[in-house]
Amino acid sequence: MEILILEENKFDDKAAEIALTQIKNKPNSTIGFATGNTTVGFHKRLAEKLLDEKVDISTFSTFNLDEYVGVSSQNQSSCYYRMEEQFFKPLKLRKDQINFLNDLSEHEDLQQRCIQFDKKIEECGGIDIQFLGIGLNGHIGFNEPGTAFETNTHVVDIDLNTRESKISVFGSLDNVPKQGVTMGIKSIMMAQKIVLLAKGESKAEIIFKSLTGPATKDIPASVLQLHPNLVVILDKAAAQKINQ
């Protein structure tokens, strides 16, 4: 495990630099992204760097961790819409480069969509580098506390605390979906490299528990300690308990 503790103004640059190096070294890389407040600046900075340096982006592909059930990709609160604005649209990525569990209906066979998603990851040769955020309860993706470590992509009931943390995105708790689909913990852990990103004092406690305590399904992110190629990028506020 490599832990990088940075000033906040260097945070997004460092994450973007890691992704940029991956794409330069392997143009047909498969990169896993996460949506959330922590990754907004990273996505925008990476898009800028790829364009500024005129990197060939014609053969790399993207997979996104999760999406809400029943939320259209045209909805500004959807994970897809946010990735589109932050990353896909600035780079003019082709649809075949984007793999996303978007436009999910509660009336379709969601489990089949999950199986197809995992199959597509396999067909691409697996994920080269997976970027992750972390929830206040230690969730990664929509893998809430109690999720078994051997899960593949699956349908989840979103924890109330997680839903409450999304009120600012959806406007009210009633508007926050109760279900989502997410890459499972096993799916995440199969990535060649994982980069965990955390900013802010509110993340300090869960970062400390996730990286220094036992690997337990009560804190899903704690499993990341077991990954052979984990990089953790923290700002000083998120790292304060680690530093102690």
Which residue in the list 103, 118, 137, 175 is annotated as catalytic?
137
DSSP state string for 34-97: --SGGGHHHHHHHHHHHHHTT---SS-EEEESEEEBT--TTSTTSHHHHHIIIIIHHHT--GGG
Which residue in the list 64, 67, 84, 139 is annotated as catalytic?
139
Q: Quick check: is 143 catalytic?
A: no
Which residue in the list 12, 43, 64, 66 is annotated as catalytic?
66
CA within 13 Å, CB half, 110: 22
How far is it, in rounded angstroms, from Cα 233 to Cα 131?
A: 10
Q: What residues form DSSP beta bridges with 69?
A: 104
CA within 13 Å, CB half, 51: 13
Q: Are 213 and 219 in contact (CB under 8 A)?
A: yes
Give the angle subtended at the CA of 84 by the CAs of 224 and 192, to the nearest 5°. Answer: 25
Which residue in the list 67, 84, 144, 235 is annotated as catalytic?
144
Q: What residues form DSSP beta bridges with 234?
A: 5, 198
Q: Quick check: is 137 catalytic?
A: yes
Contacts of 48 (CB under 8 A, 6+ apart): 16, 90
Q: Quick check: is 9 catalytic?
A: no
Active-site positions read 66, 137, 139, 144
